[in-house]
Amino acid sequence: MLVFFNGKFTEMEEVSISPFDRGFQFSDGVYEVIRYYPKKFFEMEAHIDRLKYSLNEMHISFPHLDNIESVLHKLISVNSLTDELSIAYLQITRGHQYPRRHSFNENLPATFFISVEKFPAKTDNMTNGVRVGLEEDIRWLRCDIKSTSLIPNILSSHRAIKKGFSEIIFHRNGTITEGTHTNVCFIKGDLLITPPLNNFILAGITRKVVLSLCHKLGIAFEEKTISISELKDFDEIFLLGTTVEVTPVTEIDGISVNDGKPGPICRLLQNEYRKIYE
Can you state the percent helix, strand and coil of the chain, rounding each to 5? 30, 30, 40
Catalytic residue positions, numbered:
146
Of 96 and 126, which CB lies nearer to ligand PDD in the complex structure?
126
Distance between CA atoms of 201 and 205, rounded to whole angstroms? 12
Of 56 and 256, which CB lies nearer to ligand PDD in the complex structure?
56
Mapped onto helix, strand or coil, the DSSP state of residue 153 is helix
Of 247 and 250, which CB lies nearer to ligand PDD in the complex structure?
247
Q: Which residues bind ligand PDD (CB under 6 A)?
A: 33, 178, 181-183, 202, 204-207, 240-243
Name the minimum Å distance from CB 120 to ligand PDD: 15
Residue 185 burial (CB < 10 Å; 0-12/13-18/19+)? buried
Of 68 and 202, which CB lies nearer to ligand PDD in the complex structure?
202
Name the minimum Å distance from CB 215 to ligand PDD: 17
Name the minimum Å distance from CB 50 to ligand PDD: 7
What are the CA-CA distances from residue 5 to residues 18, 41, 51, 148 (Å)?
13, 20, 17, 17
- Count Cβ atoms below 10 Å from residue 131 Cβ, excluding itself: 19
Q: How remote is the C-alpha of 162 from its chain's centroid?
A: 21
Name the minimum Å distance from CB 223 to ligand PDD: 14
